[in-house]
Amino acid sequence: MTYERFFSRGADAMRESAIRKMGGVAARVPDLISFAAGYPDPTTFPWDAFREIAAELLTGRDPHALQYGATRGYRPLVEDIGEVLATHGITSTFEERLVTTGSQQGLDLVARLFIDPGDVVLVELPTYTGAISAFRNAQAEMVGVRQEADGVDLAALDETCTRLRAAGRRVKFLYVVPNFQNPTGLLIGLDKRRALLEWSERRDVLLVEDDPYGELYFPDRASRGETRPIKADDTTGRVVYLSSFSKTLAPGFRVAWVVAPAEVIAKFDLAKQAADICAGALDQRVIHQAIHRGVLKNQGERLRAHYQHKRRVMESAVDEQLATQLQSTAPRGGFFLWATLAGQLDAEQVLARALEAKVSFVIGSAFYVDGSGRDTLRLSFSQPSDAELVEGVKRLARAIEMARR
């Protein structure tokens, strides 16, 4: 039996993410060093604290720990999130917050709330593949705007929006990852953040700000002040802000949040009721306790030092082995080195050779909604050990040489 005639148009449009696909490939290649997945390093997870907290929660004294809960989220955690936000300059009321099952669900709910088939969503070129999937599933037409060193090119953004509207298209929102963007590692400058907010008001467009990496700035290249969310200066309710505990505590809990005006959050609540009723009760309680016991607070500095070190290891290996083969960005935080191959070599060709050499990465074109970026690649330094970073870069250098022959 074939099922094509049963699938919806939305299901037809679904595509596997390039990153997930690489995960499948990686699982089949023994001894592969992966620069593909942007996973946090599990050695940084506060295992002891989690074990202690989970054991206490599973004594059965609190029956709610394994029960359904409010769609909005576990109240003490929703309150904690308010405090976390305040440290980033965002003031919010309880009614303006909602816990999501990962920020990925936040993006899916954004798509459900704001996109009708054919609506235009503006995205950075390149942009996060998970957002591309969520918006594509809702049958949005994504239009990319090129980026400069300090983020999206404002003149190109305005020109694109104006042109689309003149052609009768509905432009709903601009999706941005201002802090250490996945995949480029770019940090949007503070002036540009203010200009984006002003632009969104002038053009009556919503801003969807996705900020999972804000805590992970590298102290040798960036400061906390430079990561100030756009949402912090949003006085008129233009910005829907998403963030997550995936990169600061652990992604396995799938606990994240969205902040938006109360009227919008009420809609998120309705959409989430249909999606999963509520985020995991146990997960939310573990995160709440981790915050309450100071675990989250201790993570920040530790993680910044840890990933800054990893970045240095990868950057110096790249300088030594690959300086003539590719040009890479100097990220100021986050998990990624973004590289452009010299001589317009095709990254897909390099990937085939790389897998033979037992190293993987994500081809850059997966992050471009316009099919460009064929000579780019994303190298994630977050998970491999120092020795693997060095060895992986050597393998990549061999693979690029082979691909050039």
Ligand X SMILES: Cc1ncc(COP(=O)(O)O)c(C=O)c1O
Residues engaged in binding ligand X (CB under 6 A): 38, 102-104, 128, 130, 177, 182, 210, 212, 244, 246, 251, 256
Cα 244 to Cα 210: distance, rounded to the nearest angstrom = 9
3-state secondary structure of 112: helix
Do 332 and 214 meet the contact criterion of CB atoms below 8 Å apart?
A: no
> Smaller CB distance to ligand X: residue 258 or 322?
258
Which token pair is 92? 């919010």
Q: How far is the CB of 24 from ligand X (least distance, A)?
A: 17
Q: How far is the CB of 219 from ligand X (least distance, A)?
A: 21
Q: How far is the CB of 133 from ligand X (least distance, A)?
A: 11
Which token pair is 199? 């632009």
Closest of 130, 185, 218, 199 to residue 331, by C-alpha: 185
Cα 79 to Cα 111: distance, rounded to the nearest angstrom = 26
Which token pair is 337? 């080195």
> Smaller CB distance to ligand X: residue 182 or 289?
182
Q: How far is the CB of 77 from ligand X (least distance, A)?
A: 14
What DSSP string runs through 247-269?
Answer: TTT-GGG--EEEE--HHHHHHHH
> Smaller CB distance to ligand X: residue 103 or 308?
103
**Which residue is at the shortest CB distance from ligand X?**
102
Phi, psi of 258 (to 5 degrees): -130, 140
Cα 324 to Cα 109: distance, rounded to the nearest angstrom = 44
Inter-CA distances, 304 with 21, 110, 210, Å: 29, 30, 19
> Smaller CB distance to ligand X: residue 212 or 364?
212
Q: How far is the CB of 175 from ligand X (least distance, A)?
A: 10
> Smaller CB distance to ligand X: residue 248 or 325?
248
> Smaller CB distance to ligand X: residue 246 or 325?
246
Which token pair is 318? 């790249």
Q: How far is the CB of 102 from ligand X (least distance, A)?
A: 3
> Smaller CB distance to ligand X: residue 104 or 360?
104
Q: How far is the CB of 58 from ligand X (least distance, A)?
A: 24
